Structure 1
Amino acid sequence: MKQIFTCIFLAVSLSFFNCSKSEKGENEKQASSKMPVFALVDSASYDFGTIEEGAVVEHEFKFKNEGEYPLILNNISSSCGCTTPEWPKEPIGPNQTSSIKVRFDSKNKSGPQVKTITVYANTDPAYSELRLKGIVNAAPKPQESK
């Protein structure tokens, strides 16, 4: 009799455990589907081609919030001090579009360039990466007079 009672108790306990586990999984799925979504309208990479050293390149990465809650860009950092991002500080509502303006100053840079811009937001994953790439031709060296 004790064995039957123990088996019934274990079966009921396991069924409660499985139910709460599946409800938790569904709740997590629902919460993540409602989170803000940082969706780029164009590409995450911009090739500025070939420029002369000292030139400044600007590009706007357009994006849309495809989530159900406001998107907040917490911070944006770049892999180099020569690359400066500007971004909206106010929340971007669901289905709204905005842009991140990136400025690359090629002064004292030459050769192939790849600059990474990391966007931190209230999304899952918590960050996205953008890239600027191209080639900078070295400025001609001034000739010394003899």
Structure 2
Amino acid sequence: MKRIFLAVLLAGALASCQSNQKNETSQAETSAVANNAADNGSAVPDKDAPVITWERETFDFGTIKQGEKVQHDFKFKNTGKTPLIISNASASCGCTVPEPPKEPIKPGAEGVIKVVFDSNGKEGMQDKGITITSNANPTMSVIRLVGEIKAN
């Protein structure tokens, strides 16, 4: 009888330890995920964060001949309360090259991202996205060049 009682007591204690260990692991994982989200910039920005307000988010260049280059200046304004810093501008392919401003854009000030698209080797309908990463709210925005390329 004593052996059965000891076995039940030991099994209960062992199960209790495993349950606590799982809870501690789960809490640690939750904390690590929250810390990674903050480190990756996916946390909600401050209410005073800059805001990019685009004059136009999509530019339709119409129909062009293969080999022509299209240039467009995407104009924007910082409608937030703090300086806007664009940390990266990357295109969906190497045929599209964005040039963001290097200096911070003060609240209320305007800026331009110059984009050049080279249609060499392209044909048909095109939709080129340029992802802008900044300290704005939201931290990422996408502008687009769209149009059609006719083969020579």
- TM-score of the aligned structures, taking structure 1 as reference length: 0.72
* 1:36 matched to 2:41: no
User: Is residue 2:83 matched to residue 1:70?
Assistant: yes
Aligned CA RMSD, in angstroms, stands at 1.3
Is 1:107 paired with 2:93?
no
For residues 53-72 of structure 1, give each alpha carbon's deviation from its aligned partner in whole angstroms, at most 9, with x where no partner exists.
00000000000000110000
Is contact 2:51-2:138 (8 Å) kept? no
Q: Alpha-carbon deviation of 1:123?
A: 1.4
Report what 2:145 is aligned to. 132
Which amino acid in 2 is paired with 1:136?
I
Deviation at 1:34, TM superposition (A): 1.1
Aligned partner of 1:50 in structure 2 is: 63
Structure 2: gaps spanning 5 or more residues: 1-43
CA drift of 1:43 comes to 1.4
How many pairs were matched up?
109
Structure 1 unpaired stretches of 5+: 1-28, 140-146
Could you list the runs of 4 or more consecutive aligned residues of structure 1 that deviate by over 2 angstroms after TM superposition?
A: none
Secondary structure in 1 aligned to 2:116? Answer: strand
Q: Deviations over 1:3-40 (max 9, x none)?
A: xxxxxxxxxxxxxxxxxxxxxxxxxx9x7331101111
Q: 8 Å contact 2:130–2:144 — kept in the other structure?
A: yes
After superposition, give the CA deviation of every residue in 1:70-104 in whole Å (9 maximum; x if it has no partner).
00000000001000001111100010001000000
* 1:90 paired residue number: 103
Question: Is structure 2 residue 129 aligned with structure 1 residue 116?
Answer: yes
> Structure 1 CA distance, aligned partners of 2:61 and 2:47?
35
Question: Which runs of structure 2 are paired with 1:15-34 in the superposition (5 Å)?
Answer: 32-34=46-48
SS in 2 for 1:34: coil
Instruction: Report sequence identity in percent.
Output: 49
Instruction: Give yes or no for contact 2:97–2:117 (8 Å, CA) kept in 1.
Output: yes
